[in-house]
Each structure stands twice: as C-alpha cells, then as structure tokens.
Copies of this chain bind each other. A is one copy, B any other.
Amino acid sequence: MKACVITTPGGPESLSLVDMPFSPTRPDDAVMRITASGVNRADILQREGRYPAPPGAPAWPGLEAAGTLLTAPASSPWSPGDRVCALLPGGGYAERVAVDASLLLPVPDGLTDVEAASLVEAACTVVSNLDEAGARPGETLLVHGGSGGVGTAAIQIAKARGMRVITTAGGPERTARCAELGADVALDHRADDWAQAVRDEGGADVILDVVGAAYLEANLRALRTGGRLVVIGMQKGARGELDLGTLLAKRARVIGTTLRARPLAERAAIVARVREEVWPLVPDRLRPIVHATLPLERAGDAHRLLESGEVFGKVVLTVA
C-alpha cells in the first residue's frame, strides 16, 4: 500500500509517499480502506520529531481517518463494507490502517468521508476535555483558537451542551466566522486584551487552551473562582510561570491532557461518548468545517497550509 512517511524529522519536505507492505500486527484489529484522513497540529510535531508515535502504532502520521471496512473482527458489531471513521493512534496518512474496533464510529448520515474524517479527533478532544473539566450547562467556556479544527468543533459542541462560549481568533474575519458558528463572544487576540475582555464578561469557568505557556498567566486571570484551565496544546511555549497565589485564591485547576497516549480502554470510552453525545448533533448543530482537501501525496503542502495560519477549520487528505 501507499503511505506518507516521515523520512527524516524536519520540515514539510520530509513527508514522502512510499510503497510498503501492509502488515497489521494485531490479528483482532479491524482493517479500513482509507478515503480521507484529517490533518492535525500533532502531525506537524510528529513530523518535526517532537511527538513520537506511541508503541505499537504505525510510525507515520494520521490521527483520524474515514473509509470502508475491509475486515472486522467477528466479536465486533461491524461488518466488511461498513462506512466508518476512526480515532487512530497514528497511521492515517495511508491507504489502509488496522485499528481496534472499539475506536470505530459510523460515518454520520449525510456526511462525506472527508467531513467525517475532519471531525473525529476534534470531537474526541472536545468531549474528553469538557468531561475532564467537569463542564456544566450554563457555565462559560473560553476556547482559544476558535478558528482551528478543535476550536470550530468546541464552539458548536459547547453551545449544544448549553454553555456560554467565548472564543479568541486572529482578525475580524475569523472572529465573525466564530460568531456564525455560535460563539456568544468572539475576541480578536490581535486587537483585544482578551483576558480583560473575558473578565469583563464575568470570567471563564472552563478554558480550552492550545497556546500553552504564552497564555498561562492571562488564562489564570481570565478564570472565575473554581475555574478549570485545560491545556491541550503548547503552540507558544511549554514552560511558563504559574502564579500559585492566584490559583489558590481562585481555587482553580490547571489540567494537562493528551488523547493519543491514553490506554486503549480510555480512548474507546471517549469514542463511545462522542457517538452518544456528538454524533446526534451532526450535521444540524455540529457542522464539519473543511477548509481544504489535498491528495495524500501532497501531505507536505497540507502541512504548509496548516502552518501558514490561514486555515479556518480543518485540512483533510484524500486517498484515491
């Protein structure tokens, strides 16, 4: 089969389409023929050598894919021919992938494979982190990077949960689009003192943050008493000063999470939560936002596009 592998950790040029034997190692895995695979920022980190694939996972990137089942374990509710999408520990940048059946989801009615592939990782990230934070209806969620894949999903899922949503994005066009997706308040982080603006709005009960160190202090300022800051990315730095005085005074929490490194049972439980809570929202209340599709052999260009910061929503690779 064809797979898009990392030849040497580095820039987008290090992604290279190669022919390789398809050799799944676990006989009980389902096997998918992939038609679409979402591109995530974690793929860029992996390409740069900063986010290695977990043991047992394919070495090439790709955390989500959609397509058709070629084989399914007899013990599973799935059958060959089923249209599915999957949360992958890696390996989505390829024609085929073997995956534990507990990580499969049906392609929601009315969605293309591209749209389904664009939603899996973001939906799992949002639901698992809102759960980690104990987010409740009526609470205020602050989503940084509202124009990203996770951000666009978070705005819509949190609104469907009955939360009030404040988001940040870069520039008036993006904030306008975030508002169209349902954000109650959309702040331009290039123009606004967003932390002060969030405080003026009464503060955030939960913050979903992909920025990391550069936002740590301002995030703490933006939290309400009892607030929870969930850090899921470190786009701007990994080490930041934490003001414990504020943390204690607000009785706040800083929570770090990742999805890929979790034990299979936890990932399967998250996929089940997505099927239960998020899939019924698709497509009326949760619209997949696909910015662009590129064929698998142009994965490097897909990374360049994501790195350009010009993407609203997701970039998806298509596999012929």
Contacts and interface: CB of A to CB of B under 8 A. Distances in A.
Interface of A: 212-213, 216, 231-232, 234, 237-258, 261-262
Contact of A216 (B238, B242, B252, B262): B242
A50 to B, nearest CB: 10
19 contacts: A212-B244, A213-B244, A231-B244, A231-B247, A231-B248, A232-B248, A238-B243, A238-B245, A239-B242, A240-B241, A240-B242, A242-B254, A246-B256, A248-B258, A249-B256, A251-B256, A251-B262, A253-B254, A253-B255
Contacts of A261: 249, 251
Contact of A243 (B239, B248, B249, B251): B239
Given A249-B261, A261-B249, A262-B251, A256 B232 contact: no
A244 B239 contact: yes
A97 B270 CA distance: 51
Nearest to A50: B245
A256 B257 CA distance: 18
Contacts of A232: 248
Contacts of A244: 212-213, 216, 231, 234, 237-240, 256
